[in-house]
């Protein structure tokens, strides 16, 4: 047990990496530290962190670390055609505003939390299973006798290097196009397909390089539905790398968020492999791209975060 900004923190570590998790602060993973490169991979808070009240707007509470987004990303209502139709769902879901229960030991950190607005329970087990890899195993259970759709994605805000020492986003070579969903002056209207390797912003910026906070910009894109990948990577010019991996039969969609000082005081990237397409359960339901959570039949999936270099 450790302390992190006044909150109790669970710790697992080995010779290469150290992971801190704060159960009382939305179950956040607040540190993934690479001991070889002395590199903190998760965005740190710019002011003392605090637990937000249910229904809060995510960007009002100094985004940092890694939280879980369930049952939606964007605030919306549960779609028509299911038992909870019309139920209001909060921004970034309802798990980041709750304290989570813990049943951890020296080698594994297991947290559980129940939804505020929908009857479900999420279990996440964190463990270092090989010298360079953090494993995260998830299980989502329906606590009711009615089926309903859900949308989950992780929300790891990875810190990046900018300027002369930069961090690049590296996707598998099968990725040729991405779907831009954040309308802005730099990247144009939402819904545009951009060439992953050749597209440039109005200021000449490429998609795979993260700029400094002085750009005051952001972008988000998804892989088109016909392109599925099982990993995404960040590469520092120092040689340090971070790869997130998953199984496409569990998490078939990938979103990538890039913030260059628009919402956070430091540039960051989030890899968001998910089970729905995309961003709100309303839209995913309309796209026929949201899994149903059935009574007595939990959904299970895993992520791996591997440090390299």
Q: Say yes or no to pLDDT of 106 above 80.
A: no
Instruction: Give the Cα-Cα-Cα angle 202, 205, 211 (nearest 5 degrees).
Output: 125
- Using a 10 angstrom Cβ sphere, with 0-12 exposed, 13-18 middle and 19 or more buried, the burial of residue 230 is middle
Return the pLDDT at 186: 87
Is the Cβ–Cβ distance between 52 and 62 less than 8 Å? Answer: no
Query: What three-state secondary structure class fits 89?
Result: strand
Q: Cα torsion for 151, 138, 11, 305, to the nearest 10°? A: -80
Per-residue b/e over 128-147, b at no fewer than 16 CB within 10 Å? beeebbbbbbbebbbeeeee
Residue ranges of domains in the chain, CATH in brackets: 2-308 (2.70.98.10)
Asked if 174 contacts 188 with a C-beta cutoff of 8 angstroms, the reply is no
Residue 286 pLDDT: 96
Q: Which of 86, 91, 84, 151 is nearest to 118 (CA)?
A: 84
* CA–CA dist 124, 239 (Å, integer): 30
Position 256 scores a pLDDT of: 98
As a whole number, mean pLDDT of residues 38-66 equals 95
134 strand-pairing partners? 128, 305
Q: Taking residues 278-289, what's their average pLDDT?
A: 97
- 145-149, 214-218, 234-238, 293-297: segment of lowest average pLDDT: 214-218
Predicted local distance difference test score (pLDDT) of residue 296? 96
> What whole-number distance in Å separates Cα of residue 71 and Cα of residue 80?
15
Q: Does pLDDT of 163 surpass 90?
A: no
Query: Model's pTM, two decimal places?
Result: 0.97
In contact, 289 and 282? CB cutoff 8 Å: no
pLDDT band at 18 (very low <50, low <70, confident <90, very high): very high
The residues near 282 (Cβ < 8 Å, ≥ 6 apart) are: 72, 76, 77, 78, 79
Q: What is the mean pLDDT of the chain?
A: 96
Question: Looking at the DSSP assignment, which residues form a beta bridge with residue 124?
Answer: 111, 138
pLDDT bin (cut points 50, 70, 90) of residue 194 is: very high
Exposure class string for 177-213: b at 16+ Cβ within 10 A, else e: bbbbbbebebbeeeeeebebeebebeeebebbebbeb
pLDDT tens digits, 205-252: 899 999 999 999 999 999 999 999 999 999 999 999 999 999 999 999
What integer pLDDT is reported at residue 8 of this predicted model?
Answer: 95
Per-residue pLDDT, 11 = 96
Q: What is the pLDDT of residue 248?
A: 98
Q: Is a pLDDT exceeding 80 seen at residue 164?
A: no
pLDDT at 205: 87
Looking at the predicted structure, is the pLDDT value of residue 104 above 80?
A: no
């Amino acid at each position: 047990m450790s302390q992190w900004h006044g909150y109790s923190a669970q710790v697992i570590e080995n010779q290469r990496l150290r992971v801190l998790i704060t159960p009382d602060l939305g179950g956040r993973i607040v540190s993934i530290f690479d001991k070889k490169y002395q590199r903190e991979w998760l965005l740190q808070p710019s002011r003392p962190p605090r637990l937000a009240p249910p229904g809060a707007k995510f960007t009002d509470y100094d985004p940092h670390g890694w939280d879980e987004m369930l049952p939606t990303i964007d605030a919306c209502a549960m779609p028509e055609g299911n038992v909870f139709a019309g139920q209001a769902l909060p921004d970034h879901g309802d798990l980041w505003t709750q304290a989570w229960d813990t049943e951890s030991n020296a080698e594994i950190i297991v947290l559980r939390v129940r939804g505020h607005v929908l009857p479900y329970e999420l279990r996440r087990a964190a463990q270092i299973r090989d010298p360079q890899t953090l494993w995260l195993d998830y299980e989502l259970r329906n606590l009711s006798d009615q089926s309903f759709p859900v949308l989950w994605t992780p929300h790891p805000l990875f810190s990046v290097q900018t300027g002369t020492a930069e961090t690049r986003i590296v996707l598998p070579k099968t990725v040729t196009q991405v779907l831009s969903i954040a309308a802005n002056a730099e990247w144009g209207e939402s819904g545009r397909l951009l060439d992953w390797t050749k597209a440039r912003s109005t200021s000449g910026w490429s998609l795979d390089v993260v700029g400094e906070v002085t750009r005051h910009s952001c972008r988000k894109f998804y892989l088109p539905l016909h392109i599925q990948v099982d990993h995404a990577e960040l590469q520092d010019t120092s040689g340090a790398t971070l790869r997130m991996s998953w199984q496409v039969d569990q998490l078939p969609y990938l979103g990538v968020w890039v913030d260059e000082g628009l919402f956070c005081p430091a540039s960051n990237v989030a890899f968001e492999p998910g089970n729905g397409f995309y961003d709100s359960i309303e839209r995913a339901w309309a796209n026929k791209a949201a899994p149903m959570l059935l009574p007595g039949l939990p959904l299970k999936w895993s992520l791996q975060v591997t440090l390299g270099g």
